[in-house]
Chain A
Amino acid sequence: MENLINLTIDNRPVSVPKGTTVLDAAASVGIDIPALCHLNLKGTCVRNAPASCRICVVEVQGRRNLAPSCATQVMEGMVVKTNSARVIRARKTVAELILSDHPNDCLTCPKCGDCELQALVTRFNIREMPFQGEQSSRKKEHTVSITRNMDKCILCRRCESVCNNVQTVGVLGAVRRGFDTTIAPTFDRMFKDTDCTYCGQCVAVCPTGALTERDNTDRLLDDLCDPDKVVIAQPAPAVRVALGEEFGYASGTIVTGKLATSLRRLGFDYVFDTDFGADLTIMEEGSEILARLKAFLGGDKTVKLPIMTSCCPAWVNFYEHNYPDLLDYPSTAKSPAQMFGAIAKTYWAQKMGIPREKLVVVSIMPCLAKKFECEREEFKVDGNPDVDYSISTRELARLIKRSNIDFRCLEDTDFDKPLGESSGAAAIFGATGGVMEAALRTVYEVYTGKTLPRLEFTEVRGLDGIKEATIDLAGFPLKVCVAHTLGNARYLMDKLRAGELDYHVVEVMACPAGCIDGGGQPYHHGDVEIIKARAKAIYAEDAGKPIRKSHENPDIQKLYREFLGAPLSERSHHLLHTRYFDKSLK
């Protein structure tokens, strides 16, 4: 290897490529320098390196001041000490100074046990608060998705980095200066008065309890205890490959069977699956793709291409806010969770003889924007929402623990029928490229009338920000593109607006890597390997399914036979499709 730099860290020789930071060089030989503001999900564009917290300082021989290891590049012959008495004391003092303006309410903080600052306090053996001073008192906000308590903010700027650099939503930013500095939405507004998409990535990266999810677990407990209500569950694909982490399983452990059992133990009357809704989405969206393609090939110049996926609620918010002139491009298909709700409260409720007002549909989602989606007026019938509310993967884990359920000892069970049957195509909705791959499996077979020789479309898998592929549809080259993060979505939408986007189908997911790294998932604390393991598990879940194409799901076929008729039928349009609104800030 060329360009290797040799240095010494804690008396150990280290060789790393040029440009490596001291923090990463140390990690390569098993030296775990504590860091706080630093964040780098390698392989994605999620990065924050302001070197502002000074927790990761190290001693560099020949340098007068301590150096922040996250922002100091290795140099030939460098001699670094990460654990000298000077460094250990300085690091502790830095943490104590951060604590001097931090609320002292860990016991009741929503982040307790998952807080990176709290973990450092334990690690640095801080047993008293030596510095007392003025305490910040800032605006608090509870939206339907995100709760903001900036008194707990340590100004690491991670949320600002993801909101601006990764998502390009540009809502959160540092305002004012000195002690008055805070991270706030533009013009100190409330989130609801901004372009916030509720993607929840700010929550996913916040090291403390400043940004957390809106907790719906007490509401759910009340409903589960109410004998007059029939409460049904629908967990999303990405939940089953991450929930296990909250109970000590290695990341990437598939806990689908235990998930179903735990929901039953919690008292859900029926345990169904959002994957059923995902298969239904493919039927509707796939038919819409085919309809637009056929019109296009028939010479219709007005047809809008590319058709874009519409499963991701943060992405929907994003284009409603930023691209009101392009609202004809996304598919009109509702998200799987909303399709599930619409079918549960009509087809299934009628079958079971349950009145709509007694039925409570709860979605368990890796996502915070789903909470907002449930509140959309267009997804309500006479004020009664198709999906009553949504809880995150983290909230479910808390509820399981609170209800004395020993998750690790649970036996595996299956989801209830009929709304619990699903294909492998639905399972992969949780990873970037998954919706596209699922759609291609159905679109190909319906269009060509042939069986796919190979089910896996590996070209659209993986962490690349924008992936493209050309699929041979019986001689017609179908050009597809997959993007994750809203920054990449913006890049595509700007090209579309300029008339330079040459694809037929585009998939967008707002979160990096897709729903598996959603704002409601167990915290990754900057470890990208966790996210990669979840992706691997998603594809393993697909490979293990007897049915792997949405159109082959027997309960989906039955639903069309008994109730909907055909995809894009009048009833399908009424129940399973939606429209979009211009929500740009004037």
Chain B
Amino acid sequence: MSELIISCEAVREVEALCDEFHNDPGELIAILHAVQNKLGYLPEEVQRVIARKLGIPASKVYGVVTFYSFFSMTPKGRNPVSVCLGTACYVRGSDKVLEEFKRVLGIEVGETTPDGRFSLDCLRCVGACGLAPVATIGEKVYGRLNPSDIKKIVAEFED
């Protein structure tokens, strides 16, 4: 069984968000968005709370969470890395940039470093195609990336 890692207060927040959407099963995706915005991720217990509030099986909630890559069941790092794999970035070598991030951070896409400092994701287009290939770390955008830059950039975030 999963350990309880979210607080009673978080449970109440999730329940309140479900109430805002009138506990309507048709609003499941919107509710998942709202909850992830609030908590940063969607752990098992949270999905169970949502399932109970909406009166649907937890298997349905889990099915939706795993279907959309936007939803995450692991907490994001303090510095979430997103590498753009949109067409413009991809043709300019963002796949190699992504590989270098994986190597330097020692994690796969969708994972978080054990110290919680970084998490790694990919996305499609941040609207900065002129700077391709692009990656974002938190709110900061890095353009014209070369795999050899990655180590130095990551070092900026050592805390």
Contact = CB atoms under 8 A, between A and B. Distances in A.
Contact of B62 (A160, A164, A173, A586): A173
Given A187-B44, A585-B1, A586-B1, A176 B66 contact: yes
A177 interface: yes
A441 to B, nearest CB: 39
Contacts of B60: 164, 170, 173
A186 interface: yes
A586 B2 CA distance: 9
Contacts of B44: 187
A186 B66 CA distance: 11
Contact of A187 (B58, B67, B68): B58
Contact of A164 (B2, B59, B67, B68): B59
A173 B1 contact: no
Given A164-B57, A170-B57, A173-B57, A187 B62 contact: yes
A193 interface: yes
Contacts of A171: 57, 59
Contacts of B66: 175-177
A486 B56 CA distance: 15
A522 interface: no
B59 A172 contact: yes
Given A187-B44, A193-B1, A586-B1, A173 B59 contact: yes
A170 B59 contact: yes
Contacts of B68: 177
Interface in A139-194: 160, 163-164, 168-177, 185-187, 193
Nearest to B58: A186
B60 to A, nearest CB: 6
B33 to A, nearest CB: 17
B130 interface: no
Interface residues of A, number: 19
Contacts of B58: 170, 186-187
B63 interface: yes
Interface in B37-95: 44, 47, 56-60, 62-63, 66-68
B110 to A, nearest CB: 12
Contacts of A176: 66-67
Contacts of A173: 57, 59-60, 62-63
B67 A186 contact: no
Contacts of B63: 173-175
A187 to B, nearest CB: 5
Contacts of A163: 59
B1 A175 contact: no
Contacts of A168: 57
Contacts of A185: 59
Nearest to B51: A170
A160 B56 CA distance: 13
A498 B44 CA distance: 28
B32 to A, nearest CB: 15
A172 B62 CA distance: 10
A172 B60 CA distance: 9
A581 to B, nearest CB: 16
A29 B60 CA distance: 39
B1 A186 contact: no
A174 B62 CA distance: 9
Interface in A8-52: none
A177 B69 CA distance: 9
A168 B56 CA distance: 9
A160 B59 CA distance: 10
B62 A175 contact: yes
Contacts of B1: 193, 585-586
A178 to B, nearest CB: 9
A585 B2 CA distance: 10
A78 B42 CA distance: 49
Contacts of A172: 59
B132 to A, nearest CB: 26
Given A193-B1, A585-B1, A177 B62 contact: no
28 contacts: A160-B59, A164-B57, A164-B60, A168-B57, A169-B57, A170-B57, A170-B58, A170-B59, A170-B60, A171-B59, A172-B59, A173-B59, A173-B63, A174-B63, A175-B63, A175-B67, A176-B66, A177-B66, A177-B67, A177-B68, A186-B57, A186-B59, A186-B62, A187-B44, A187-B58, A187-B62, A585-B1, A586-B1
Instruction: Give the 7 A-B residue pairs with the shortest CB-CB distance, closest first.
Output: A170-B57, A173-B59, A186-B59, A175-B66, A173-B63, A176-B66, A186-B58
Interface of A: 160, 163-164, 168-177, 185-187, 193, 585-586
Given A164-B57, A174-B67, 9 more contacts: A168-B57, A170-B58, A173-B57, A175-B67, A176-B66, A185-B59, A186-B57, A193-B1, A586-B1
